[in-house]
Amino acid sequence: MRKLKNNELGRISVDEFKAVEKMPLIVILDNIRSLNNIGSVFRTSDAFLIEKIYLCGISATPPNKDIHKTALGATESVNWEYAEDTLALVKKLKAEKVKVLAIEQAENSTKLNTFFPEKNQKYAIVMGNEVKGVQQDVVNASDDCIEIPQLGTKHSLNISVTTGVVIWDLFCKLK
């Protein structure tokens, strides 16, 4: 088995990316501190044709050399927007008939492996701060709270890892 070279991967251009049909999924970053985490979410969002990223609150925005270092150019392909208030954004998206899913450990949460998205429904996933998670008022306003089952001694995953797991799961279920 031979590893493929970059020029053999059949990647699309930024212009082709912007024109291609996207997965009906929006990523909301709720007060993310780490620029590397933000860059990683951009890169994952590019890989799976995410419709848009909202950077909220204290989350930094491109152009930024530390975001770029991890995003590897995905800030140029993935559509993004800054929104100061995550709760106001969630309310706006819900008014537009987007189903909002807080990704958080909470009472009565739905385990990711038992969540099955509706076809022809647009979703937004809210990813929380590295220490405090998703704001409680945002969890309260969300349509559902999704939790990744974890069996080890640790009780959380890095936000960029969590985003990758959730996007991959939803990508598989929606495609």
* pLDDT confidence of residue 31: 98
Q: How far apart are CA 8 and CA 4, in angstroms?
A: 6
Please give the distance of CA 40 from its chain centroid, rounded to a whole number. 10
For 111-124, the pLDDT digits (tens) are 999 999 999 999 99
Cα atoms in the 13 Å half-sphere on the side-chain side of 173: 19
Query: For residue 111, what are the β-bridge partners?
Result: 147
**Residue 87 contacts residue 141 (beta carbons within 8 Å):** yes
Amino acid at 67: I
- For the residues of 12-46, what is the DSSP string, one character each? PPHHHHHHSPPEEEEEEEES---HHHHHHHHHHHH
> What band does 175 get if pLDDT is binned at 50, 70 and 90?
confident
**Mean pLDDT, the chain, integer:** 97
**pLDDT of residue 134 exceeding 90:** yes
Tell me what pLDDT residue 155 has: 86
- The model's pLDDT over 39-76, given as tens digits with 9 standing for 90+, comes to 999 999 999 999 999 999 999 999 999 999 999 999 99
How many CB atoms lie under 10 A from the CB of residue 27?
Answer: 25
- Mean pLDDT, range 86-106, rounded to an integer: 98
The whole-number average pLDDT for the span 4-26 is: 94
Q: Report the predicted TM-score, pTM, of the whole model to 2 decimal places.
A: 0.96
Whether the Cβ atoms of residue 41 and residue 68 lie closer than 8 Å to each other:
no
